[in-house]
């Protein structure tokens, strides 16, 4: 299959339209002392707007992104994927497929690629890193209809094996990436092991067998009741949401930024720790590629495939590594429950960190991937 080198473009006309819409945004009411309890915080979004218009440099962000080796390749009829393919000079390097989710992008990993490929300590494992953009996201093609995580797993396996020629590889992921990696672990004979920083694909038997498991189910249900409204919309009527968001850069920014500010391990003052320029770069990936709408389709695709649960009796038999970050929306249940569906060979309960682990806690994330891979 043809692999084509790719440079991320800058469309000045599109950028100008975005900035004009941001500048002319009309603000509205907010409850007193709202904080983040009702969704995106107005003061934060006004600060983000000011930075967007007066300090943020998208051209510079794209130039930085283009220092990485980007490619596109067909993986299915009429569908090509964008991916970063960073090869290590080490002869003992292992292929590593690293998968992002929503509302993220490959920006979650670019700051770690140098160290994954050429670790500062020669005794640490090195990787040939492949970081694709999900179908419908960023510079990957938009599918003609929703594709769920199991379908994406098959496309990613084709990318690794048929396109790039890796007969064996390690798969890593959080958010959608943890479901994709789990499905690869179930379906692909080529995967060597999987490493997860989120509990996405649940074991078939979730009946609590201890008080600890019962408490986890209650706590998880409470968290998701308050946080999963967006999920229900995107999994049922994504097109209706698209009509609003595709015409409102500030709407997209609020919809994404609220997740980056709610699903994280916050600082002492309760404010999110993300650098605004990084957050704006990630938002601009969605806006400049006009992919907010098709990025939402994977939610509908999940339920068309059958939902979150593994098939009855299924188990990921390849070695599984778990990085359990305490503030993750997709926090893991007690280990005995996870082991009903996963061959867990490595487990780390992290001291801090949330849903966007590779950005929030890059050292913890990197060290855990390395430790897991070294033990394979």
- CA nearest 47: which of 277, 262, 259? 277
Per-residue pLDDT in tens (0 to 9) along the chain, 376 residues: 799 999 999 999 999 999 999 999 999 999 999 988 899 999 999 999 999 999 999 999 999 999 999 999 999 989 999 999 999 999 999 999 999 999 999 999 999 999 999 999 999 999 999 999 999 999 999 999 999 999 999 999 999 999 999 999 999 999 999 999 999 999 999 999 999 999 999 999 999 999 999 999 999 888 888 889 999 999 999 999 999 999 999 999 999 999 998 899 986 666 667 899 999 999 999 999 999 999 999 999 999 999 999 999 999 999 999 999 999 988 899 999 999 999 999 999 999 999 999 999 999 999 999 999 999 9
Alpha-carbon distance 15 to 36, whole Å? 29
C-alpha of 180 from chain center: 10
- Angle subtended at Cα 315 by Cα 309 and Cα 319, rounded to the nearest 5 degrees: 120
Alpha-carbon distance 260 to 255, whole Å? 9
- CA nearest 285: which of 108, 97, 153, 54? 108
Element (H, E) at 231: helix 229-236
- CA nearest 331: which of 170, 202, 181? 202
pLDDT at 21: 98
Across the chain, the runs of DSSP E, i.e. the strands, are 4-6, 70-76, 79-86, 94-99, 127-132, 169-173, 191-196, 316-324, 342-349
CB 176 within 8 A of CB 101: yes
CB 139 within 8 A of CB 8: yes
Across 245-315, the runs of DSSP E, i.e. the strands, are none
pLDDT at 171: 98
User: Judging by DSSP bridges, how do beta strands 94-99 and 127-132 pair with one another?
Assistant: parallel
pLDDT at 18: 98
Alpha-carbon distance 270 to 35, whole Å? 9
The number of beta carbons lying within 10 Å of the beta carbon of residue 319 is: 20
* Domains along the chain with CATH numbers: 4-26+36-165+202-316+329-345 (3.40.50.1820)
pLDDT at 204: 93
- CA nearest 217: which of 192, 199, 196? 199
Alpha-carbon distance 144 to 136, whole Å? 9
Alpha-carbon distance 228 to 102, whole Å? 13
Alpha-carbon distance 46 to 28, whole Å? 11
Alpha helix (H) residue ranges in 82-228: 113-117, 149-158, 176-187, 211-227
Q: Is 77 exposed, middle or buried (0-12, 13-18, 19+ CB in 10 A)?
A: exposed
C-alpha of 354 from chain center: 13
User: Judging by DSSP bridges, how do beta strands 4-6 and 70-76 pair with one another?
Assistant: antiparallel
Mutual angle of helices 276-288 and 12-23, in 10-degree steps: 120
3-state secondary structure of 366: helix
């Amino acid at each position: 299959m043809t692999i084509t080198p790719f440079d991320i473009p800058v469309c000045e006309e599109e950028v100008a339209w975005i900035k004009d819409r941001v500048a002319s945004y009309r603000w509205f009411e907010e409850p007193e002392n709202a904080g983040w309890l009702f969704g995106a915080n107005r003061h934060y979004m006004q600060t983000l707007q000011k930075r967007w218009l007066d300090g943020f440099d998208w051209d510079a962000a794209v130039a930085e992104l283009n220092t990485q080796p980007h490619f596109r390749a067909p993986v299915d009829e009429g569908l090509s994927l964008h991916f970063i393919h960073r090869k290590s000079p080490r002869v003992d390097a292992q292929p590593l497929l690293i998968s992002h989710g929503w509302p993220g992008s490959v920006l979650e990993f670019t700051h770690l690629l140098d160290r994954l490929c050429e670790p500062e300590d020669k005794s640490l494992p090195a990787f040939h890193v492949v970081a694709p953009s999900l179908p419908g996201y960023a510079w990957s093609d938009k599918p003609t209809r929703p594709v769920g995580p199991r379908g994406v797993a098959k496309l990613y396996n084709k990318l690794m094996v048929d396109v790039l020629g890796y007969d064996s590889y390690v798969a890593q992921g959080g958010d959608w990436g943890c479901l994709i990696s789990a499905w690869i672990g179930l379906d692909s004979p080529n995967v060597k092991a999987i490493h997860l920083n989120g509990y996405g694909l649940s074991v078939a038997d979730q009946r609590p067998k201890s008080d600890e498991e019962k408490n986890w189910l209650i706590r998880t249900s409470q968290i998701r009741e308050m946080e999963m409204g967006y999920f229900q919309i995107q999994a049922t009527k994504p097109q209706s949401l698209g009509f609003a968001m595709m015409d409102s850069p500030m709407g997209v920014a609020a919809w994404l930024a609220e997740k980056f500010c709610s699903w994280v391990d916050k600082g002492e003052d309760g404010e999110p720790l993300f650098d605004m320029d990084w957050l704006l770069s990630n938002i601009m990936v969605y806006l400049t590629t006009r992919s907010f709408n098709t990025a939402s389709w994977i939610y509908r695709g999940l339920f068309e495939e059958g939902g979150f649960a593994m098939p009855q009796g299924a188990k990921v038999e390849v070695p599984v590594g778990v990085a359990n970050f305490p503030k993750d929306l997709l926090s893991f249940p007690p280990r005995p429950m996870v082991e009903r569906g996963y061959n867990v060979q490595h487990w780390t309960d992290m001291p801090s960190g949330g849903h966007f682990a590779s950005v929030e806690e890059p050292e913890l994330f990197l060290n855990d991937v390395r430790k897991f891979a070294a033990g394979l």
